[in-house]
Amino acid sequence: MDLIPATALFIEQKFADEGSGHDWAHIRRVWLMARRLAIASPDANPLVTELAALLHDIADWKFHDGDYEAGPRAAREWLRTQAAPEDVIARVETVIREVSFKGVGVATPVSSIEAALVQDADRLDAIGAIGIARAFAYGGHKGRALHDPAVAPVLHDSFASYQKNTAPTLNHFYEKLLHLKDRLNTDAARAVALKRHRYMEEFVAQFLAEWDGED
């Protein structure tokens, strides 16, 4: 089978019953969005972009004891079984290493156009209606409160403190989600983010109004 459909099927089966927000539906959306963003970036290598989008969450550090190499390693192992070219494997590994958000105060530079596209696609899936739903799904998975006005948001300036965070889910909007529109690499992604960002701002305002007994 061709490498891209084979990888899509492998990931779909691997993530079939994942309830943490890193499900096949998320990966499928990131894959579709990365392909869409690539239309405006003709220099991006389509094979590297699509494989990296499909494999970007294959072994997230959050679920592997903070092992940041688990993802790149798992991607390499899979791509080797498919006899993918070594240079493609190396480029996909680099994208996976660079994709994650690590805290508002932590720079997450990308070293390739393919990483720029996959990082943007992943970030777009963390905002808007889906982003809101994913944040509360993640918070529920971790047993977090929806909101606690006594817990102030923290603008994490190190990956270590961002990782240790156990704050109520509404804080995640101030600590990450509302910043993502300013942390995108491409104009195509910034255009998509406009509507999603506005929708999230309205959501947070309405949430806080209802919290205090307003309409």
Phi, psi of 179 (to 5 degrees): -95, -15
CB of 194 to Ni ion, least distance (A): 21
Distance between CA atoms of residues 67 and 51, nearest Å: 21
Burial letters for 6-18: b for 16+ Cβ neighbours within 10 Å, e otherwise?
A: ebbebbeeebeee
- Which residues contribute to the site for Ni ion (CB under 5 A)? 57, 122
State which residue, 147 or 172, has the beta carbon closest to ligand ADP: 172
- Which residues contribute to the site for ligand ADP (CB under 6 A)? 21, 60, 100-101, 122-123, 126, 131, 134-135, 138-139, 165, 169, 172, 176-177
CB of 19 to ligand ADP, least distance (A): 12
Out of ligand ADP, Ni ion, none, what residue 126 binds, judged by CB under 5 to 8 A for its kind, is ligand ADP
Contact assessment for residue 176 and residue 126, using Cβ atoms and an 8 Å cutoff:
yes
Q: In 3D, which of 155, 136, 158, 132 has the Cα closest to residue 145?
A: 136
Contact assessment for residue 140 and residue 88, using Cβ atoms and an 8 Å cutoff:
no
Out of ligand ADP, Ni ion, none, what residue 139 binds, judged by CB under 5 to 8 A for its kind, is ligand ADP
Out of ligand ADP, Ni ion, none, what residue 53 binds, judged by CB under 5 to 8 A for its kind, is none
CB of 6 to ligand ADP, least distance (A): 23
State which residue, 120 or 122, has the beta carbon closest to Ni ion: 122
State which residue, 147 or 189, has the beta carbon closest to Ni ion: 189
Distance between CA atoms of residues 86 and 88, nearest Å: 5
Q: How far is CA 215 from the centre of its chain?
A: 33
CB of 100 to ligand ADP, least distance (A): 4
